[in-house]
Amino acid sequence: MIGFITFADRLSAWFGKVFGWLIVLMTFGVSYEVFVRYVLNAPTPWSLDVSYILYGTLFMMGGAYTLSRAGHVRGDFLWRLWPPRVQAAVDLVLYFLFFFPGILALVVAGGRYARQSWSYLEVSVNSPAGIPIFQFKTVMVVAGLLMLIQGAAQVCRCILCLREGQWREPELDVQETEEALIRARRESGA
């Protein structure tokens, strides 16, 4: 189980970090649009659609990465008060009741949606530029499959917690700015 958890975490991290670079593309795209719209008075017909596509892709492809790092929103105000074994038992039940059915529905419905979109090379109806969006619809399926893999790893984490009585901490490769500032302050002796 530990090997599978490591595999899933690394896979999710790789996709999350690669697709995280879309933020840079979005920044350049929006900056370009602001410049040509307000300085040159020549707005583009494609900028809004491209921004939506990039943001949607970033959001969906970051889901498994966020799950691997325990970053999704949860009802912590109750959950954190429970012993680890109770947390794991509740999480395990919720994964099978809600998570897996929802993600499977995303993969199946998204697959049909993407297949249909590819069949006629769908373009955006919101833009006169006719931005292709069929590839974007495929992202739903890929993101769903990554979430299924990561969800299975989370189930393994729950099982290990039930056995061992404590959570195996996710790999930390990023940290909140506040935590970094607090650590820097402690290390400087302030």
Residues 6+ apart with CB under 8 A from 14: none
User: Which tokens go with 12?
Assistant: 């999710």
Tell me if 151 sits within 8 A of 100, measured CB to CB.
Answer: yes
Mind listing the pLDDT tens digit for each residue in 3-39?
999 999 999 999 999 999 999 999 998 999 999 999 9
Strand partners, 90: none
- 144-163 tens-digit pLDDT: 999 999 999 999 999 999 99
- Which residues, 6+ apart, have CB-to-CB distance to 118 below 8 Å? 134, 137, 138
CA-wise closest residue to 91 among 170, 2, 167: 167
What is the per-residue pLDDT across 79-124, written as a single tens digit (0 to 9) for each?
Answer: 889 999 999 999 999 999 999 999 999 999 999 999 999 999 999 8
Q: What does the alpha-carbon distance between residue 90 and residue 85 come to, in Å, rounded to a whole number?
A: 9
Length reported for the chain: 190
Domain ranges of the chain: 2-168
pLDDT value of position 46 = 85
